[in-house]
Chains A and B, each alone.
Chain A
Amino acid sequence: MHKIALIALLLAFSPLFSHLAQAEDAVTENLKRRLQESLQIETSPSPTIELRAYIGTIKDLIGNTLVINGKDGKQDIRIEDGTVILRSPGNTNIKQENINIGDYLIAIGYPGDGETLLGRRLIVSSSPIESPPKLTAMGTVKKMDKTSLTLSIDDNDQKILVNAKTTFKSPAGPIEFTDLELGDTLIYTATLSDSTQTATILMRVKTAPIE
């Protein structure tokens, strides 16, 4: 009787043992998975800090921080011990004291705290950094001859010279100057010299309506 009861007790506990073993396996698997996920998150490549450059006019010099006015507004540039300061043209090394308010600046460095750039190489110039005069516009062909087009742009007439270097195209591919007609809508890029516009690229975006 005693032995039978003992065997029955063991049989009753056997599912408990197997469930406990299964539960332990599941917990181990779960822990392994979570640990692996954490490791993957930690070992994923951190973004490398890239050099940044700001271009603008020096508005102020407070301590060792330059305040410049660039295309996006004010920007602080910090001058550090290792910052190289050059004056252009000639790229001669200068000291912080030789930087003037109103000078033009190209500041290269690494992003610091907040919006400050930690300057590594500063190029200052007393003359403005000017881009070659270029423009782009959209208009409708009003007149044309062998060397020029007159476009109606915002109700004003604008003469544009074309030359052998001018590229003619449409969204479908290249076209010829002779393919253009009065009433066509064009977008163009041009260089500007003494108020004379010379087209570099002309794209026909709409053909003249058929009358």
Chain B
Amino acid sequence: MKVKKEISLAIFIGLFIALLVTGGIMRAQRALKSLDLPSIRDTLLPNPTPKITNPTTLFLEITSPDNSVTKVASLTLTGKTLQGTYIAILGEKSEYLIIPNELGSFSQEVTLVKGANNIKITVYEQNGNKIEKTVNAVYTTAEI
């Protein structure tokens, strides 16, 4: 009879501990869910560069690579400048006068000569302000 009593007591103590543990786990899970942990991708990859909004000072950014080597006789020259400007491109073989799109971006296929190509890009504002940049490219068909 005494043994039965002891067993019952042990069972009730076990029951109490089980309830405590279950409650603890449930609370911990709820707390972890509410935490906004960053993923590996967010930690390893850099944040995107903030975009320039409505610049007012004349600028010229060439996005196609400088000092490039190509096996074809043309190069796609791309870049960004102020909207409402005029772009003059002086290539070795041809010249181009273009305007950027409403976002200030531009793209022009420039014909290349064999060997060294020095491409001069000038951006004009209507008031006469200008900015210049030069891009080099080498056109070769030789196996390198």
A120 to B69: give the CA distance in the assembly, Å. Answer: 12
State which residues 84-102 of B face A: CB under 8 Å.
Answer: 86, 88, 90, 92, 95-97, 99
Residue from A9, A106, A187 in contact with B115 in the complex, judged by beta carbons closer than 8 Å = A106
Report whether B144 and A136 are in contact in the complex, using a CB–CB cutoff of 8 Å.
no
A8 in contact with B15 (CB, 8 Å) = yes
B51 sits at the interface (CB 8 A): no
Interface band, chain A:
35 or more
> Are B69 and A50 closer than 8 Å at their CB atoms?
yes
CA distance A71 to B137 in the complex (A): 12
User: In the complex, are the beta carbons of B144 and A203 less than 8 A apart?
Assistant: no
- A116 and B63 CA atoms in complex are apart in Å by 22
CA distance in complex: A134, B95 (Å): 9
Task: Return chain B residues, CB-CB under 8 Å to A54.
Answer: 67, 136
Cα(A6)–Cα(B137), bound, Å: 84
- The CA-CA distance from A106 to B117 in the complex, in Å, is 10
Number of interface residues of B (CB under 8 A): 47
A9/B96 in contact, CB under 8 A: no
A189 touches B88 (CB 8 A): yes
Q: Does A205 belong to the interface (CB within 8 Å)? A: yes
The answer, yes or no, to whether A34 is at the interface (CB within 8 Å) is yes
Asked whether A187 lies within 8 Å of B92 as measured between CB atoms, the reply is: no
B45 lies within 8 A of A41 (CB): yes
Distance of A100 Cα from B120 Cα, bound (Å): 29
A–B pairs, 8, beta carbons within 8 Å? A1-B8, A12-B15, A34-B40, A38-B40, A41-B40, A50-B68, A50-B69, A53-B67
